[in-house]
């Protein structure tokens, strides 16, 4: 083979003006993802546009996506005219305490279901999962009777305790802890560690992604919970944000600019928690259930 033929068989460099990998299917994928992102962000934009529009959008003034004159006083007026600070504190206390209890119970229960062998373990675990399929409307009357009998009616503990043991959280914890090699646990037991010592020194330090997942899921569920706090709490000073917002929505008149201003402010803690634990959340979701 001649030198000219060998030169012709060499791979030729691609033109520099063309970006590698940006094929038409990839452009279509990016367009679909961008459209999906806009659809997800639009409700937040609508809340903002309604909050800065006096009286709210679509109040007999025509249809528009942004008010001709933006009035930002609704945020200050909402904070001054309504006990928003009290609602915020109540929601934060319930969400934080609920997260602490749910994460602790889920980790311990997941550890027991994943690493201990006892009679009826599978039956108890699946019986526990069945509770996830039972809607709140079916059990809220017996739960309310129990809460009232314990003297926790119109009390934040009456909101927190019934949902402290969550079936979904226990299932996620069990699937994650099953990935931890049994050899590590046996080595800790050989060194003289107790069952709780194995959990505290070996299992818990490896559950960082799992804890991030549980914190985000539990915090969002607690923060947005409406029906059960509405049933348990009666005094306005004990209301959470969703229950307090419900009191502003009337039959004949609703200050939608104030409602949306408070709703927009209530989104900030959820975004902050997700931004803080998003790396652990993604890692935990990606690795849960993989062996």
Using an 8 Å Cβ cutoff, are 91 and 240 in contact?
A: yes
Tokens 């699946």 — which residue? 126
The two tokens of residue 27 are 């452009």
Percent of the chain residues topping a pLDDT of 70: 84
Q: Does the structure show a pLDDT above 70 at 156?
A: yes
pLDDT digits (tens, 9 = 90+) for 197-219: 999 988 998 888 899 989 999 99
pLDDT digits (tens, 9 = 90+) for 232-275: 999 989 999 999 988 887 655 667 888 888 888 888 898 888 88
DSSP H helices in the chain:
3-8, 24-51, 73-81, 84-115, 121-130, 136-149, 156-160, 167-177, 182-190, 195-198, 208-224, 227-232, 241-248, 256-287
pLDDT digits (tens, 9 = 90+) for 27-54: 898 999 999 989 988 888 888 888 888 7
Q: Does the structure show a pLDDT above 60 at 2?
A: no
Which pLDDT band, with edges at 50, 70 and 90, does 78 fall under?
A: confident
* pTM of the predicted model as reported, rounded to 2 decimal places: 0.81
For the chain, which residues make up each domain, given as ranges? 24-71, 83-287
For residue 108, what pLDDT is reported? 94
What's the rounded Cα separation, in Å, for the pair 180 and 114?
9
Q: Which of 11-20, 96-105, 186-195 has the lowest mean pLDDT?
A: 11-20
Secondary structure of 65-93 in HEC code, one letter for each residue: CCCCCCCCHHHHHHHHHCCHHHHHHHHHH
Question: Has domain 83-287 been given CATH number 1.10.3720.10?
Answer: yes
For residue 132, what pLDDT is reported? 84
Q: Does the structure show a pLDDT above 60 at 59?
A: no
């Amino acid at each position: 083979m001649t030198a000219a033929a060998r030169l012709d068989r060499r791979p030729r460099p691609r033109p520099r003006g063309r970006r590698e990998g940006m094929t038409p299917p990839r452009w279509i994928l990016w367009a679909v993802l961008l459209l999906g992102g806009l659809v997800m962000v639009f409700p937040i934009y609508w809340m903002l546009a309604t909050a800065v529009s006096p009286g709210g959008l679509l109040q007999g003034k025509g249809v528009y996506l942004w008010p001709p004159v933006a009035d930002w006083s609704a945020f200050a007026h909402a904070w001054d005219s309504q006990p928003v600070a009290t609602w915020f504190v109540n929601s934060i206390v319930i969400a934080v305490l609920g997260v602490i209890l749910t994460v602790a119970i889920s980790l311990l229960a997941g550890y027991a279901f994943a690493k201990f062998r006892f009679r009826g373990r599978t039956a108890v675990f699946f019986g526990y999962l069945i509770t996830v399929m039972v809607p709140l409307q079916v059990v809220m009357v017996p739960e309310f009777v129990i809460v009232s009998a314990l003297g926790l009616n119109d009390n934040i503990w009456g909101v927190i305790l019934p949902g402290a043991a969550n079936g979904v959280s226990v299932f996620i914890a069990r699937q994650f802890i099953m990935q931890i090699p049994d050899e590590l646990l046996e080595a800790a037991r050989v060194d003289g560690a107790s069952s709780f010592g194995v959990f505290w020194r070996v299992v818990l330090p490896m559950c960082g992604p799992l804890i991030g997942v549980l914190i985000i899921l539990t915090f969002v569920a607690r923060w947005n919970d409406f029906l059960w706090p509405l049933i348990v709490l009666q005094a306005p000073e004990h209301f959470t944000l969703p229950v307090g917002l419900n009191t502003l929505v009337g039959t004949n008149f609703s200050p939608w600019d104030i409602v949306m201003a408070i709703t927009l402010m209530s989104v900030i803690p959820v975004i902050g928690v997700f931004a803080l634990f998003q790396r652990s959340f993604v890692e935990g979701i990606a690795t849960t259930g993989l062996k």
